Structure 1
Amino acid sequence: MKIACLQLNPILGAVQHNIDNANALLQNIKPGQLDLLVLPELAFTGYNFPSLEAIKPFLEPTTAGPTAQWAVNTARRLQCHVTVGYPEVSTSAAGQTMNYNATVTVSPLGEVLANYRKSFLYYTDETWAYEGPNGSALHSHTATSKPFLCGQLGRLGHVGHGICMDINPYQFTAPWRDFEFANTMLREGVRLVILSMAWLTHRLPHELEIEPDKPDMETVAYWRERFGPFIESAPREEIIVVFANRCGVEGNTSGTVHVENGAEAEEGDRVCYAGSSCVMRFQGGSVRLYDRGEGVAILGKNEQGLLVVDTLQHAKYSLQPGTI
């Protein structure tokens, strides 16, 4: 399977600009070259909105806004599955609205296959979004509830969906070794995990400019650690985990940033993102990364670009502490 991560540095609120940027980065990809294309969390709106009022102009109807339309058009054009993050506003038949941090997944025919709503919210999400319907299921003592979203997804097989904070302990208060996300994926028997992310780094803005094409290995090591159950269970069949993160910096000292058409998008405090998108293979107690011809298949901490891996090829780079 050929899997691609499109690592972007979106400008907050500049939706059309960010879409145009994504299209430019994909311009050399021909139909049939990919099986799955994954974009970051809130890929075209940006992430760092400080309040409901700030993000409200950019909320998109369930699988029907500009992000979903882009996914449909791109999936049809490239003849591949597409997963991309967006801020969803859902309206019930009674007129009640609920906001979610979501991803939409579209088939090569342009059909919406899944709409996943983030289960474990980061504090930035909590200012405007609700947990997905089963977000706290593991902590509600309701045996019939299941968090996250797992199931058959077209020709991709049995797939699990997640968004960024989902792989952390619930609200950073659950025990570290509960591994809620990873253990759910194991119980559900998934063989492919798709993660759209806007994962932060502790690095400062000027540090991101130093060797921007080099990954943030502290972040990559942490991601690996959060899938400890995949290592300890030593599955005979491989499990592929796609980490599609964003890069760049959001936030400024004035609190607002001018965007297209004269609009302004209010930003939160300055934050830096870790980039470092990659695809990990877990099998038999080992974790490996793929080769992309000129070395290990992992994007830099501040590098916009498209990473493509072929999971039918040998994953030659062992991802053990201090090995790459």
Structure 2
Amino acid sequence: MATTTTLRVGVVQFAPRIGKVQANIAKARELCKGLTPRCVDLLCFPEMIFTGYVFPDAASISPYLEHPRTGPTSTFCAELARRLECYVTAGFPEHSEHDSNSLAAPLPLPLPSPATTAPPTSTPTSSPHNHTGPIGFNSAVLYSPTGEPLTLYRKSNLFETDLSWAAPGSGFTVLDLPPPLGKTTIAICNDLNVHNSAVWNSLEDGPYELARHCVREETRLLVLLNAWLKARNEDDEGGDEGEAKRTEEGEDNGDDDVELEPNWETLNWWAQRLRPTWAHHHPTITEKENGDQRTEPQINGSSIEPKDLVVVACNRFGDEGGKTFVGSSAMLMMRRGSGRPRLLHAMGEREEGIGIWTVPVRL
């Protein structure tokens, strides 16, 4: 009989001010000051949370690109991980001069392949106009409970805002972490969508790149670090694929219900983009290539039991450059073959704070 344990995840949601790195870190410290050691197993911060996200071009983001070990995001994560004795992950803009060769040696888990590293640059403050290619990566770092860096993930499916400065990463990976986390995949926002060269065929076919990765690798925990936008209207696809409502920064429309309620369209979008992890039957890559019409899920020719996938989507809110971020951080449970995703916890669209969420997981 399978045994169970409890997974405890902390999700930090607030509205950073673009370019105000130290002020945003101070805000995060204030939100986290009440947390005690070992109160959570994993603490998550969203995509590029301390720099802000909507930089119009490479020149504007260049001064904020960070080293993945010594930059302000990593320094903060390491300190917090040591204090709370938990894993900590956060998104940040990485400077491309620090390639994976310079990082790989001290880290026990693999980093992106050097073959996909962007051309090196001279200094973090040099003008991006002198470069012919990307000057950085949209990245996420994970720190261990002892404050050691474990791995660096680089966003694979870039959004239009990333394209002026970032190179894509080398693809999704899975980390085999100690219980209760288990096999963990870290992804960033638009990774839920598809590469620009891919065409969405149908609800059945996708392509569901990230979801198929999680099924193939038997991922148990998917962590999405987002800067997800609010769709302008119901026809927009939302998030990294849709335009945001244009609002003046700091404007308060007084709608308390919107502040406290999650954006249900966004939650539905996230769940639909992970359809193969919960649908009654969704053909795997192996099945489709072999023309196999069997209803029993197959991976690499072997039958598998339905697996539970815990999905943690950590998002920010606030306004930048006419874009509105939708908040609505959430925890969902995806059970292979169940026919429906389950929403376990969610925050409101403009709810500031930390969600401390627990879920039983099978060992």
**For residue 218 of structure 2, what is the aligned residue in structure 1?**
189
Distance 2:45 2:82 in 1: 16
Poorly superposed stretches of 4+, deviation over 6 Å: none
Distance 1:219 1:172 in 2: 24
CA distance 1:123–1:168, shift in 2 (3 Å): same
**For residue 172 of structure 2, what is the aligned residue in structure 1?**
148
TM value normalised by structure 1: 0.81
1:1-324 matched pairs, under 5 angstroms? 1-91=7-97, 92=99, 96-97=120-121, 98-132=135-169, 134=170, 147-155=171-179, 156-171=181-196, 173-176=198-201, 177-202=206-231, 204=245, 205=247, 209-210=254-255, 211=257, 212-232=259-279, 236-251=306-321, 270-283=322-335, 284-285=337-338, 286-290=340-344, 297-312=345-360
CA distance 1:175–1:202, shift in 2 (3 Å): closer
CA distance 1:39–1:306, shift in 2 (3 Å): same
CA distance 1:214–1:57, shift in 2 (3 Å): same
Structure 2's unaligned 5+ residue stretches are: 1-6, 103-118, 122-134, 233-244, 282-304
Shift of 1:184: 1.1
Q: Secondary structure at the match of 1:67?
A: helix
Shift of 1:62: 2.2
Shift of 1:79: 0.9
Count of equivalent residues: 277
Q: Secondary structure at the match of 2:15?
A: coil
Q: Secondary structure at the match of 1:56?
A: helix
What code does the residue aligned with 1:193 have?
L
Would the aligned equivalents of 1:246 and 1:274 in 2 still touch at CA under 8 Å? yes
Structure 1's unaligned 5+ residue stretches are: 135-146, 252-269, 291-296, 314-324
Q: CA-to-partner distance for each residue in 1:126-175, whole Å, 9 max, x for gaps?
A: 0110001x2xxxxxxxxxxxx21212134421111110000002227422
Distance 2:185 2:230 in 1: 25
Identity of aligned residues (%): 36
Task: Say which one has the larger Rg.
Answer: 2
Shift of 1:23: 0.9
Q: Secondary structure at the match of 2:96?
A: strand
Would the aligned equivalents of 1:148 and 1:162 in 2 still touch at CA under 8 Å? yes
RMSD, aligned α-carbons: 2.1
Shift of 1:214: 1.2
Would the aligned equivalents of 2:140 and 2:153 in 1 still touch at CA under 8 Å? yes
